[in-house]
Each structure stands twice: as structure tokens, then as C-alpha cells.
Chains A and B, each alone.
Chain A
Amino acid sequence: MSYEAITSEVMNPLLMTRVGRIWWISLLVSLALTVMMVVSILWLFANGIGVWGLNQSNIWGFAIANYVWWIGIGNAGTLISSMLLLTRQRWRASVNRFAEAMTLFAAAIAGLYPILHLGRPWFFYWLMPYPNTMGVWPQWRSPLVWDFFAIASYLIFSLLFWYTGLIPDLATARDRAAPGLRRALYGFMSFGWTGSASDWLRLESFYKTAAAMAVPLVFSVHSVVGLDFAAGLAPGWAETIFPPYFVFGAAYSGFAMVVTLAIPIRWAFNLQGLVTRSHLNVMGKMLLFLSLIMSISYATEWFMAWYAGSEAERDLILFKFFGAYAPYYWLMLACNCVIPLALWVPAVRRTPKLILAVALAINLGMWLERILITTTTPSHGHLPSSWQIYTPTIWDWTLWFGTLGFFTLLFLIFVRLVPFISLHEVKQFDWQRRRA
């Protein structure tokens, strides 16, 4: 492809074409859902967390499960952009931009949940170490304080990393846009970028070093989420496998979300030349690989419960398979372990509709997994007298669907404002390929 073709393919949908009806309909739907989210939050603030389906045993419920799910979605964006950058995977350039945007939005939404769940959310800043009149400092041995630092660092990191890669492309948008408000906006956002050799040198140096730091950062963020559970003594939670298992689960759900977003964007903006079937093929292989890791992780959980000989652990596994949540557990296993096996077939990996269907199943499966991890243990812990089943209320559901709508809303605005494919990297790879 010529440089001209690459620029046009990304910039024209952004600057020239009018948006279609589908975009407006999606925008209205996601806007409505966002309003629903705001109402749910206001209702929560007015009435307290009793509006959720929480009870004496299940004190975490949807809020923490969804937090884990969202932060997991975010995880893959950073993994894609950093790990693939460091290992020089060329196919990365076509997907990294919206994978990173996905990270940013998902991590921001994820950060919202623990705060809402606090009960007294207006005191959330007590997690911050600041010299206060009470002379109180955070409890540094608590995984929830680690969480606060992990999420805050991760958010700031993702924003800077994403924006650094974006600056040259915003400059392209500035140079392509007709004079007016849009051009002024792009001019402002691109900081007067000229693309001089010395600027590129600094950008690449910073970007690659940041990418190298991103990999351990991502692992630490989700390991801490795993530790939130594993640091206690509850059966089903106190497992050493939790940190890695959470990290891979996060990569799994995040990759599935990238596929879920990539296919509609590719179709809507006619990007078949930039996000090709071989990109989908590679991502399909990635999903298959991660699904096998997840299957092994589940098997390890069952094996360890049996092998460790703890009565409560064994009982909990039986409860998973045959107890109150059993239908969801079987559905989760089907979505996460069985359906992705279809990706062994090359034709499935290369057919957008089929791989999208598998990715949606994985999204559902991983969401069920988060819900089940959060609810099964409190519902069936050491003390039979405190066994209680968790039933989400309408407000749990409205907040959950509301955040999905809010995420979609942010994404719809993002694809209209920002070059959603990394132009300079696609051009660079294209040039390197022609030269090779």
C-alpha cells in the first residue's frame, strides 16, 4: 500500500465521510445506557449499597466481580501494545491503538467500581497517603491499598503511553483537516509535532522503554487483583495459583474484547486492508492458546482441592459443579474451555463472523467466571451457618449494563475523534517490509 492509501484509509472515515445511521443509533443506545448508569449510581448514593443483592456473607457481589472483569479487559490492551512491540510483531500496528483506548476506558470504569462499593464513597481518598489532621496513614499490608496504587499508576501509565503514540497521528490529522475548529483542536492536541529526526529519536526511546516497563506493570496490576482474593483464608480463594491465573484470565478476556471491537470497526470503516484476515488468524491463535491455559488453571484448582485434602475446599468444588450456581459454572466452562476449541480449525480463525461469535462467548464466559469467583466462596465458606446465595438485584444489572453502555459511548466518540489505527507504525512496517 502506498503512504497515501494508508493515510486515506484511516483519515477519510475520520475527516471526510459523514457518519452513518448505525453510528448514530449506537450512540443513542449507549447514551441511554450511560444515563441508566448515572441513575444507578445516584440511586446507590441516595440509598446505600443495600440496593445491591449483597447479604451477610456475600459482601462483594457484582461490584467487585465487574471490577475484576473490567480491569482484565484493560489488561490485554497494554499487553498487546507492549509485549508485541518488544517482540517486534508487525501485526500489532493495526490493532494497538484501539486496544490501548480500550485499556484506558476499561481501566477507568474498573476504578469506579471499588469506589462505589465503599459504602461511603466520598471518603475514597482515605486510601491515599496524605498528611491529614487525624495523623492516620493507610494500612500498607492491605491488598486493597495495593490495589489503589496499582490502578492509579496503571491509569496514568496507560494514558501517557497511549497519548505518546498518538501525537504523530494527531499531527497527521491536523495536517489533513480543513481549517476550522477540528484543525485547531488537532493542532492543540498534537503539541506542534513536526516529525523531526530528533523528536522521533526521543519518542521511540521513551515509547520502547515505557513498553518494557508495561509488561511487569500489567502483571503486577492483575496479580494484585488476584491477591485481593488469595490473601485471605477462604476456601477457593486462598490459592497460590491466583495471581498468574488472574493475569492470564485478564489477557484472555481482553483479547476476546479486542476481537469483539476490531471486527465491527473493520467492517464499519472498511479497514479490510489494514486489519486483515491474517490479523484475525493470529488473534484467534492467541485466544486458543489462552483458553488452553485457562482450562489448565481450572483443572489445577480441582486437583489442588483434592490433593490438599481440605474438607472445605473439596466441598466447595462439589458446590461449584452441583450447587446453586452450577448451571452458570457449566456455562462458563463451555464458553471458556469448550467453544474456543473451534479455533483449532483455520477456517474459523479466518472467518470474521465465526471468530466474533467465539470472542463473544469468551467475553460471557470470563464475565461469569468473575461473578462466580466472587460469589461462590462467600456462599459456601468454612461456616455452614453463613451459607447464603447471592442474587443480584435490578440495580446490580442496571449498573453493569450502564457501564457497558458508557464504555461503548466512549469508544464511539473515540473512533470519531482520534486516528484509530496507528498510522505512523503501519507506514513504518510497510516500508520495512518493502525494503526487506
Chain B
Amino acid sequence: MSGHHLLAGFAEPGELMGAIEKAREAGFSDLEAYSPFAIEGVAEAIGHRPTRIRIVMAVAGVIGAACGFGLQAWSAMVAYPINSGGRPLFSWPAFMLVTFELTVLFAVVAGFVAFILRSGLTKLHQPLFAAPNFHRASHDLFFLRVTVDGDANAARELLKGLSPIVIDEVPA
């Protein structure tokens, strides 16, 4: 995120979508949108690639299942075999439950950690917070962020033409 950022706040998600299109047409490529709720299609319009969190969760789930089942099988057969009423030591149907619980647990914990790390949610302060109206991004405004490399006036004129409610500059 080098350079200089401008933020334009719109009243409705539809206007934001229109603005993204216009900004892209005008040649701005480093865009980001901020909104109080998830809007279908915005990430695609901006050009974000689909998230891979599900893959992380799937892999972690498989690892969880393997750990859970492996631990049970190993401890029941090798480490601590108990003859309980003559039942087989490797009584795998009884192991399925713990295996399942650990699958879910591993997947969810890994998904949460991936979400926090990938979203940069370990940094409590973002430069954006210094913009005067940005607090409304969690409330009622839909912001488009434009990165300006050269002529700031051209970008400002473009954003003004989209008739946003506010235009903010992100202090460096």
C-alpha cells in the first residue's frame, strides 16, 4: 500500500458497486471497499481472488481425524491394552466419535486462525482509522479506497463525479 489513499463514502451498496466499475474503467487498479456488512459480488468486482480458507479447514480436518483415530488406535492397542469384556482391542466403531469431534475441532480452529492471520487482524490499529469519516464504515457508509500514485487531483475529480457523501484523505 504505497502512495496516497483517497476514500469516497457512499450511502448504498449499489452506488459503491457503480463506483468500483467507474474507477476501474478510469484505470485505477489498487482498489479496496469497506462496508458495514458483507456485500455479494464486491470482492469479485474489485478483483480479489477467492479465499482459500476452506482448503485450510479441509486439510486441518483430515489431520484432526488422523490424529484422533491414530491416538485412540495406538493407545488402545499398543500403549495401554485393556481387555474389556473380551472385546477386540481395535474396536474402531467406538473410536469414530472422538475422531469426528477432533475433525471438527481442528478444522474450526485452523479456519479461525487462518482468518485472523490472513485478514491482518493482529494489528489493532490501521492507518485508515485516522480518516475523519472512516468510523462510519462500520455503521452506514460504503467506502471505496483508491490508491493515487501520480496526480491526486484527477483521482479527486473522478471520485467527486461519482457524487459520494464524503471524500476523505487517509493521512500518511
Contacts and interface: CB of A to CB of B under 8 A. Distances in A.
Interface of A: 2-4, 7, 129, 135-141, 145-146, 149-150, 152-153, 156-157, 160-161, 164, 167-168, 171-172, 174-176, 187-188, 191-206, 209-210, 213, 216-217, 220, 224, 423-425, 427-428, 431, 435
A194 B115 contact: no
A4 B94 CA distance: 54
A132 B114 CA distance: 32
Interface stretch (B96-104, B149-157, B159-167): B96-104
B2 interface: no
Given A150-B101, A431-B37, 10 more contacts: A3-B139, A140-B91, A153-B104, A167-B121, A175-B139, A192-B126, A196-B32, A198-B32, A198-B119, A424-B37
Given A141-B94, A192-B121, A203-B115, A153 B105 contact: yes
Interface string B103-134: 01101110110111011111111101100000
B53 A206 contact: yes
A157 B105 contact: yes
Interface of B: 12-14, 32-39, 42-43, 46, 48, 50-51, 53-54, 57, 71-72, 75-76, 79-80, 82, 84, 87, 91, 94-95, 97-98, 100-102, 104-105, 107-109, 111-112, 114-116, 118-126, 128-129, 135-140
5 contacts: A160-B108, A197-B33, A197-B42, A199-B119, A431-B12
Interface centre among B75, B91, B107, B138 (most CB of A within 10 A): B138
A21 B111 CA distance: 42
Contacts of A3: 36, 139-140
Q: Is the interface of B mostly helix, strand, loop or mixed?
A: helix
A149 B107 contact: no
A10 to B, nearest CB: 11
A209 B119 contact: no
Contacts of A431: 12-13, 37, 39
A209 B101 contact: no
B97 A146 contact: yes
Contacts of A193: 121, 138
B10 to A, nearest CB: 12
Given A153-B104, A427-B36, A176 B139 contact: yes
